[in-house]
Amino acid sequence: KKVVQDLKRLMTLNLTQHAARGTQAAAASPQRALHSETIQIETLWACTTCNACAQVCPVRIDPVTLLTDLRRNRVGEGALSGTAATTLRRMQSSGNPWGLPAAERANWADGLGVPTAKENPGFEVLYWVGCAGSYDRRAQRVARAFVKLLKQANVNFAILGREEKCTGDSARRLGDEFLFQELAQENIATLARYHVRQIVTPCPHCLNSLVKDYAQFGGNYEVIHHTQFLERLLAEGRLKVEGAAPASGAMTYHDPCYLARVHGIHQSPRALLQAASANSNATASDLHEMPRNREKTFCCGAGGGRMWMEEDPKQRVSTVRAKEALATGAQTVAVGCPFCLTMMTDGVAAQTDSARVLDVAEILAERLGL
């Protein structure tokens, strides 16, 4: 709100000075700068693009778009430095924020017999693993759990392997529009080469880019979150939880901003968690909701490129959210996003060692003994 009001005051000042152009008073009036004087630099980079402000604004102003445009201006001037700038350089050179070789992108799948699109051209659904699932050791466990579930359900799927590149979500939110479009066009060309229409992904940020951003460049696909796909497999009877030991202990679910608020997806993960904890006497009471949930969820702090920035330990958003999760009495904090997985794991670990953070797919795979 303050950002919007400050921008309005600057525009009003400029309009007034323009109307008085040529007068002695106008000539003597100092020009107020947009950056630093009107919008502070720390304000510009603090935004997690969680979209809560856009959702609640009564006059439908979208401050997120204003902030990302301001970031583009700063990036264009070469004003971005530190870990975020390093991340963008890695994405430019290696196609992923970690800067690791494309040849290692499918190493997480060793021993699982996961086919690539080139090896299985007749696949029905493409599993878009994402950079985190490909390179982050913790997120790799989620990818492996999901693949085991797909195989259990006899799904005809494939991955792109080394041909997959970062969707460019963080690049666009950080303000590097050129890099985003470069990555988007390469991915769209790859998807077109394999005639991909249906995509499943565990990352809400990848989902958002593939659905909303890529459509601006002619890339139109049916993209669903991995919790939605797993719920479908349960409904079709291709995955069965009957006879398996139910997950024990109270659970809570953290809604990712780009999943629940931006795309309205929040029921599928809850249905899976209820199925994972169900037994003959089960109710939904094992799932304890946090006060801020679904479309009114609270950010983990990683969106908007914040995942790649240094944070003051005393100001970490993840700490606030972890406290809310633990206050429910949950022994398991469930998530549905690799960024949330990282942030919530750190936030919970800083406060207790008696609770664990797991992706919904991991919880279901655990229930099925996979």
> Which tens digits make up the pLDDT trace of 223-273?
999 999 999 999 999 999 876 666 668 999 999 999 999 999 999 999 999
What do you get for the CA distance between the two ends of the chain, in Å?
A: 48
3-state helix, strand, coil in the chain (%, to 5): 55, 10, 40
Residue 91's CB: how many other CB atoms inside 10 A? 26
| 3 state SS of 183 | helix
In single-letter form, the type of residue at position 90 comes to R
- List the one residue out of 206, 306, 198, 307 whose CA is nearest residue 263: 206
State residue 90 phi and psi, 5-degree precision: -65, -40
Quick: pLDDT tens for 166-196.
999 999 999 999 999 999 999 999 999 999 9
pLDDT at 245: 64
Residue 75's CB: how many other CB atoms inside 10 A? 20
CA pair distance 355, 118, nearest whole angstrom: 41
pLDDT at 28: 57
Torsion of CA 92, 93, 98, 101, to 10 degrees: 140
Residue linked to tokens 């970490």: 316
Quick: pLDDT tens for 281-311.
445 458 999 999 999 999 999 999 999 998 7
> Per the structure block, which two tokens stand in for 139?
């997120």
Q: Is the pLDDT of residue 207 over 90?
A: yes
- List the one residue out of 332, 217, 344 whose CA is nearest residue 276: 332
